[in-house]
C-alpha cells in the first residue's frame, strides 16, 4: 500500500512523527501528573471521532465530533498532553478497517496531534489575558479553534502538494475556500467545543456526557438530511447527464465529419463539466496533465479530462466517450457503405460496357462471318437459275455445289455464334457441366490439358453463386488460353459450410501481378465482382512459375 506514495510525502510524514516523539516525554509526565483527566478526555475524543457527521449539505461540510473534543482537551490540558490526546484519540474507521496505509495513518495522527498542540498553546495565551473564568474559557476555546484550523490547513495543504495532487497554492486555496465552508466549519467546531469546556470546568467532567443525547439526535437528523441531499444531488447529476447525452446524440446524428464530431463532443463535455480542461483527440493525443479516457470501438481516439474528476462526473465522461465511439463507428460504416456503393456503381458500368461489347462482338461475327456466306449462296443461286435457263447443266451443277458449301459454312459459323450465346446462359445445377465444358474447350481449341478436382456430388448452391464461380473460372481459363502458354491447367473445388472455394492453377509462363499492362482489365474486373459478393480473389504468380488464382465466395 506504500508503493504508490511519493518519497517526499513519506519523509514529510516521518518528520511529523518525529515531532510527536519529541513531545512524548512531556506528555508522559503530564499523564502521570493527572491521569484521570487525560484518559477521560482521550476516551471521549476517540469515541466521538468515530462519528463523522455530514452537516449543512448545501455547503458540503463534514464535521468530526472528535475535532471539538480535541480542541476542548487542548484548552483543558497542558500543550504536551494535548498533543498526546490528539495523536492517540483521533482514530477513524478507515484505520480500524485497515483501509489506510501506515504512512497515511502516521501523517493523519501526527497532524491532528500537532493541531491540538497549536490549539493548546493559543488557548493558554488567551486564557491568561482574561480574568473571568467563563469568558476566558470561551475566548480561549475560540482561539484554540482558530489555531487548530490554521495548523490543520497548513499541514494538509503541504501533504496534498507532496502527494502530487495539487499545486501548493491550489491546495491551500481548496482547504480555506469556498469561504462559506471554512466559516461554517469554524463556527460549528466552536459551537460544540465551547459548551464542552464550560461544562467541564464550571460543573463536572461527567456533565459532558449530557451532550451525548442531543448530539446523537443531531447526528441522526443531519445524517438523514445529508443522505436526502446526496440523493437529490445524484438525481440532479443524472438528469444533467441524460440531458447532455440526449442533446449530444441529437447533434451528432447531424454530423458526418469525424473532426466536427470530435469538436461537438468537446463542446458538450466542457459545458457539462463546467471546465475548459477537456480534450477530444481522434489520434489519442492527450496532454499529460489530463486523464485519458479511451473511446470504445474507435481506438486510438481518447477523451482527456482533469484528474480530479470522480464519481458521477466520470460516469458522464465515460457515457459520452461511448456515444462518441458509436458515432465514429457509424460514420466509418457510412463511409465504407458509400465507398462500396461507388465501387458497385463503377462495376455495374463496366459490366454493362462489357456486355455491350460482347453483344457487339456477336453481332459483328454474324455480320462479318455468317452474312457473307448467305450472300454468296444467294448470288450463286441466281447463277444456278441462269445456268438452268441456258441449259448449261454442268455449270449449274458446279454452282449448286458452291452454293451448298457456302450455306454449310454459314450454318457452321452460326452454330458457333449460338454456342457462344448458349455459354452465357446458366441454369441451376450447371456448375459442373459448365466447368467440364470449359476445360474440354480449352483442350480442343488450345491444346491445354485440363483437370477438374471436385466432389462427385455438388451441394445445392444459390444460382448467383454458381453464376459467379462459373464465369470467374471461365475467365481464368480464357486468360490461360490467351497468355499463359501452358500445357496443363487444374481447377479444384472445395465446398464448406461458409461457401465455395475454387483454385485455378496452370504451369505456364506466369507474370508479375503488380505490372499488368494497361488495357488488361480481366483480372481486376473478376476480383471486383468477387469482392462485391463479399468474397476473396487472390492471384499468386511470378515469371516462369505459373499462376495460381484462389476464389472464395460465401453462400
Structure confidence at residue 79 (pLDDT): 83
Structure confidence at residue 107 (pLDDT): 83
**What does pLDDT average to over the chain?**
75
pLDDT(8) > 50 = yes
- Binned at pLDDT 50, 70 and 90, residue 550 comes out as very high
- Binned at pLDDT 50, 70 and 90, residue 348 comes out as low
* pTM assigned to the model: 0.40
Tens of pLDDT, residues 389-429: 676 677 767 767 777 676 777 676 666 666 665 555 556 77
- Binned at pLDDT 50, 70 and 90, residue 57 comes out as very low
Phi, psi (deg, nearest 5) at residue 156: -70, -40
Q: Which residue has the higher pLDDT, 44 or 12?
A: 12
pLDDT(277) > 80 = yes
The listed CATH number (3.40.980.10, 3.40.50.300, 3.30.870.10, 3.30.565.10) that belongs to domain 427-555: 3.30.565.10
Average pLDDT over residues 360-389: 64
C-alpha cell at 521: 482489365
> Which residues 6+ apart lie within 8 Å of 543 measured at CB?
509, 510, 511, 512
Average pLDDT over residues 305-332: 80
Average pLDDT over residues 172-194: 64
> For cell 457456302, what's the residue?
406
Average pLDDT over residues 505-528: 80
Structure confidence at residue 2 (pLDDT): 44
Structure confidence at residue 491 (pLDDT): 94
Q: Which residue has the higher pLDDT, 3 or 95?
A: 95
Tens of pLDDT, residues 63-117: 456 677 777 777 777 888 888 877 777 776 666 666 677 888 888 888 878 888 8
Strand ranges across the sheet with 279-281: 279-281, 302-306, 290-294
Tens of pLDDT, residues 422-438: 555 556 777 888 889 88
Q: Which residue has the higher pLDDT, 269 or 66?
A: 269
pLDDT(488) > 90 = yes
Structure confidence at residue 547 (pLDDT): 92
Tens of pLDDT, residues 105-155: 888 888 878 888 888 888 788 877 766 677 777 787 788 788 887 888 888
pLDDT(377) > 60 = yes
Q: Which residue has the higher pLDDT, 510 or 428?
A: 510
pLDDT(291) > 90 = no
Q: What kind of architecture, by CATH, is found in domain 7-233?
A: Orthogonal Bundle (1.10)
* Closest-CA residue to 71 (of 175, 200, 171): 200
- Binned at pLDDT 50, 70 and 90, residue 61 comes out as very low
Beta strands in 290-430 (DSSP E): 290-294, 302-306
Structure confidence at residue 60 (pLDDT): 42
CA 56 from chain centre, in angstroms, equals 40
Q: How far is CA 393 from CA 383, 405, 406, in A?
A: 12, 18, 20
Contact 200, 207 (CB under 8 A): yes
- Binned at pLDDT 50, 70 and 90, residue 257 comes out as confident
pLDDT(522) > 70 = yes
The three-state secondary structure class of 308 is: coil
Structure confidence at residue 56 (pLDDT): 41
Amino acid at each position: 500500500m506504500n508503493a504508490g506514495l511519493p518519497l517526499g510525502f513519506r519523509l514529510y510524514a516521518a518528520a511529523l512523527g518525529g515531532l510527536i516523539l519529541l513531545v512524548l516525554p512531556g506528555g508522559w509526565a503530564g499523564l502521570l501528573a493527572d491521569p484521570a483527566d487525560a484518559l477521560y478526555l482521550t476516551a471521549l475524543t476517540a469515541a466521538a471521532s468515530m462519528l463523522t457527521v455530514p452537516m449543512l449539505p448545501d455547503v458540503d461540510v463534514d464535521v468530526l465530533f472528535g475535532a471539538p473534543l480535541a480542541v476542548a482537551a487542548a484548552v483543558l490540558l497542558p500543550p504536551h498532553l494535548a498533543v498526546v490526546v490528539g495523536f492517540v484519540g483521533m482514530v477513524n474507521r478507515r484505520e480500524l478497517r485497515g483501509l489506510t496505509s501506515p504512512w497515511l495513518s502516521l501523517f493523519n495522527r501526527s497532524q491532528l496531534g500537532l493541531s491540538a498542540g497549536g490549539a493548546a498553546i493559543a488557548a493558554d495565551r488567551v486564557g491568561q489575558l482574561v480574568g473571568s473564568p467563563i469568558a476566558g474559557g470561551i475566548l480561549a476555546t475560540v482561539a484554540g479553534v482558530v489555531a487548530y484550523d490554521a495548523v490543520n490547513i497548513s499541514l494538509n495543504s503541504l501533504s496534498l502538494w507532496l502527494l502530487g495532487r495539487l499545486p501548493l497554492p491550489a491546495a491551500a486555496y481548496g482547504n480555506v475556500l469556498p469561504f462559506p465552508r471554512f466559516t461554517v466549519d469554524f463556527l460549528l467546531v466552536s459551537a460544540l467545543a465551547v459548551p464542552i469546556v464550560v461544562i467541564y470546568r464550571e460543573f463536572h467532567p461527567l456533565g459532558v456526557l449530557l451532550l451525548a443525547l442531543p448530539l446523537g439526535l443531531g447526528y441522526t437528523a443531519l445524517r438523514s438530511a445529508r443522505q436526502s441531499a446526496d440523493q437529490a444531488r445524484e438525481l440532479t447529476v443524472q438528469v444533467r447527464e441524460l440531458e447532455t447525452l440526449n442533446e449530444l446524440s441529437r447533434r451528432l446524428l447531424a454530423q458526418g465529419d469525424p473532426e466536427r464530431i470530435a469538436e461537438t463532443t468537446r463542446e458538450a463535455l466542457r459545458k457539462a463539466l463546467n471546465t475548459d480542461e477537456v480534450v477530444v483527440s481522434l489520434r489519442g493525443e492527450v496532454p499529460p496533465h489530463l486523464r485519458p479516457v479511451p473511446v470504445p470501438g474507435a481506438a486510438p481516439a481518447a477523451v482527456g479530462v482533469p484528474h480530479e474528476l470522480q464519481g458521477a462526473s466520470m460516469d458522464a465522461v465515460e457515457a459520452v466517450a461511448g456515444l462518441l465511439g458509436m458515432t465514429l463507428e457509424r460514420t466509418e460504416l457510412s463511409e465504407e457503405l458509400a465507398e462500396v456503393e461507388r465501387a458497385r456503381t463503377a462495376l455495374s458500368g463496366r459490366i454493362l460496357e462489357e456486355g455491350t461489347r460482347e453483344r457487339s462482338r456477336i453481332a459483328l461475327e454474324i455480320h462479318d462471318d455468317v452474312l457473307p456466306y448467305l450472300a454468296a449462296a444467294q448470288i450463286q443461286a441466281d447463277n444456278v437459275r441462269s445456268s438452268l435457263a441456258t441449259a448449261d447443266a454442268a455449270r449449274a451443277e458446279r454452282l449448286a455445289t458452291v452454293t451448298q458449301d457456302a450455306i454449310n459454312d454459314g450454318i457452321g459459323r452460326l452454330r458457333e455464334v449460338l454456342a457462344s450465346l448458349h455459354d452465357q446462359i446458366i441454369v441451376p445445377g450447371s456448375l459442373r457441366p459448365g466447368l467440364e465444358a470449359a476445360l474440354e474447350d480449352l483442350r480442343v481449341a488450345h491444346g491445354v490439358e485440363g483437370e477438374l478436382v471436385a466432389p462427385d456430388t455438388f451441394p445445392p448452391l444459390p444460382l448467383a453463386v454458381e453464376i459467379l464461380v462459373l464465369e470467374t473460372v471461365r475467365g481464368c481459363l480464357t486468360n490461360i488460353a490467351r497468355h499463359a502458354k501452358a500445357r496443363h491447367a487444374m481447377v479444384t473445388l472445395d465446398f464448406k459450410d461458409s461457401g465455395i472455394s475454387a483454385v485455378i492453377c496452370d504451369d505456364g509462363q506466369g507474370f508479375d501481378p503488380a505490372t499488368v499492362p494497361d488495357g488488361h482489365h480481366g483480372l481486376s474486373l473478376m476480383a471486383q465482382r468477387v469482392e462485391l459478393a463479399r468474397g476473396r480473389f487472390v492471384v499468386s504468380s511470378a515469371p516462369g512459375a505459373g499462376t495460381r488464382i484462389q476464389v472464395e465466395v460465401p453462400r
